[in-house]
Amino acid sequence: MRIPTVFTPELQQRHGRTGWLVALVGAVLLVGSPYLPWAYGSDALDDMTYLGGPSPTQFLGLGLGALLLVCLLGVRFSGRLLTGRRSRWFAFAGGAKAAAVGAAVYVAVVLLAVTLELGGLINVEYGGWVALVGAVVALVGTRLLPPAPAPTVARVSSPAWLVIVTIAVVMLVLLLTVAYALDQDDPGIFVALLVFLVTVVVILLRVGLGPWFSAQTRRYRAVLVMAAFVAAFAFPFTQDGSEANMSIATQVLIFAATALGLNIVVGLAGLLDLGYIAFLGAGAFVAAILSGSAFSAVGWNPPFIVTVLISGLVASLLGLIIGSPTLRVSGDYLAIVTLAFGEIFRLVMINLDGSDGPDLTNGSNGIPGVPDLNFFGYDFGESHVILGIEIGRFANYYFLLLLVIALIMVVFNNLNRSRIGRGWVAIREDEKAAEAMGVNVFGLKLFAFAGGAFLAGVAGAVRAHHDISVTPDQYIFLESAFLLAAVVLGGMGTIVGVLLGAVLLRLMPEKLRFVDEYRLLIFGALLVLMMRFRPEGLVASRQRQLEFHEDDEELADKIDPTVPTTEGAR
């Protein structure tokens, strides 16, 4: 059922010029307001008390106003309002509407943060109210703009040098943005920055630059992957030896590596696993037992490469053990069984204390004192100076985890493109139909379970040395739920989407500790909104988009014009 709106197409066509002028006034107010004071006290955010001296947070608001102004000028000079002609390449009206909404949300977040941090709305100075009025005026004005035509810039064939330079610039901006975000201790600044980034991305998508970048990078995927890893490897060199930020970064990578393994089980094979954290724990406990820790009951300390393989194999063996009797069920029944397996694993690790069972894990105390890794004399526990910049302990593990993620990505890509991957997708879509076509359903499901468990075991082996200690309470159901949410939120069956979902779900709780009591509430609301408005995830594959929007013929033609629609059939 469509929600009625006062901004009908007839109203937009009749008052398009007036709406453009109103939005232009709002954009000018947004651009000028950062030079006015927004807060009475300097303790709010990053000191927005100066007249004529914008703070970084105010500059971000100015940037949104500037983007809105550019889009409005694009609407004007593309001839859309003057002659009714459609813009050939860009959809500036769509970008203007997104910029207005984002600017309104951004200003509201900043003023709310000022109110909370200084203790009252009275502490918002006149510059903040000018910004809010400008955002509201721009929002109303852009609602009167006629609908934006579909952008065609994505179909333009661009030279290789332009695409490569664009990729390099995007990765550089992304690197600097992540470094800046991690340096922010004020939660209000972090939320405002997040709103700014989301708004910029939506503007680029609405204008048409986002689809263009996506289309061009498909041609130069190797360049994109290489640039992404170069930017990721350069990240520790932007932190000036900060261990706090690198600790967060390594935790994000461990979470992302584990989520990529779960993506094989859930995203490709369609098996709902609610106990996946147990495989990560199995790898971590095996690595801790074989680490040579003084608290380990096993005296054997093999090289780390051997330990990683053993950890992965043990986790894979657990996957086979739990999968063999249970993978003949599916759906809710499989979810219940895997949930029970996750809890059983945690309780078994507690009982292996020498009293209720063999002495392997020291019970609930776990195995502390896991030594740092040492590769050919390179001690991961010590700081090293590389290119004149100090690289600390967590940065050492960060580099190792990047290599682990690269390995998992190679495995995932090769499996996804192979006959096995096509079999998994067939099982996910319709298990009965796949079995009727000769697909070995049980064997492929078992292989997905064991393969995903192996990758989780490898990540767990690195985590044991990173965390120094391993305890059963680290591997609870809530962690499995967050891993599954990262896959669903980012986009099942994709690599970039799962990485993005993992980064958001691990980074945001670290920066928003003031809402720790409401974390699960916010988490649940986020998933509900995602399932309502974008069930395919933030970064969805074309196939998943068609699955979730099979009745949307316009979307189907946009994603794959070769697929015939019912309208074309008629």
Is there a domain that residue 564 lies in? no
Ordered alpha helix ranges (H), 33-146:
56-77, 92-118, 126-143
Asked if residue 104 belongs to a domain, the reply is yes
Assigned domain for 554 exists: no
pLDDT of residue 10: 56
Q: Across the strands, what pairs with 367?
A: 470
Same domain for 298 and 217, yes or no, is no
Say if residue 226 is in the same domain as residue 257: no
For 214-280, give the DSSP string.
Answer: HHHHHHTHHHHHHHHHHHHHHGGGGTTT-HHHHHHHHHHHHHHHHHHHHHIIIIIT----S-THHHH
Q: Which of 181, 202, 231 is the last residue of a domain?
A: 231
The 8-class DSSP code of residue 565 comes to -
> In angstroms, rounded to a whole number, what is the distance separating the alpha carbons of residues 206 and 102?
13
Measured in residues, the chain has a length of 570
Task: Tell me what pLDDT residue 80 has.
Answer: 46
pLDDT tens, position by position, 312-365? 999 999 988 888 887 777 777 888 888 888 888 889 888 887 777 777 888 888
In a domain, 4, yes or no: no
**Is the domain of 251 the same as that of 389?**
yes
Please report whether residue 496 resides in a domain: yes
Is the domain of 61 the same as that of 149?
Answer: yes
Would you say residue 566 lies in a domain?
no
Q: What is the pLDDT of residue 541?
A: 67
Q: Choose the final residue of a domain: 168, 202, 231.
A: 231
Same domain for 188 and 226, yes or no, is yes
What are the CA-CA distances from residue 388 to residues 183, 241, 380, 385 (Å)?
21, 11, 18, 6
Q: Determine the pLDDT at residue 560.
A: 47
Residues 192 and 248 both lie in one domain: no
Q: Give domain status of residue 390, yes or no.
A: yes
* Contact yes or no for 397/250 (Cβ under 8 A): yes
Residue where a domain stops, chosen among 205, 231, 257: 231
Averaged over successive runs of 10 residues, the pLDDT of the chain (570 residues) comes to 48 67 90 88 80 85 90 74 51 85 91 86 86 90 77 74 85 85 81 89 85 81 86 84 81 89 85 87 90 80 89 91 79 83 88 78 85 82 77 86 88 85 84 82 87 90 89 86 84 82 81 71 78 75 60 49 38
Indicate if 225 and 277 belong to the same structural domain.
Answer: no
Residue 346 and residue 221 in one domain: no
* Distance (Å, whole) CA 325 – CA 426: 22
150 in the same domain as 66: yes
In a domain, 253, yes or no: yes
Q: Which domain holds residue 107?
A: 9-231
User: How many domains is the chain built from?
Assistant: 2
Residues 204 and 325 in one domain: no
Q: Are residues 227 and 276 in the same domain?
A: no
- Which helix or strand (DSSP H or E) is residue 375 part of? strand 374-375
Based on the domain organization, do 303 and 172 belong to the same domain? no
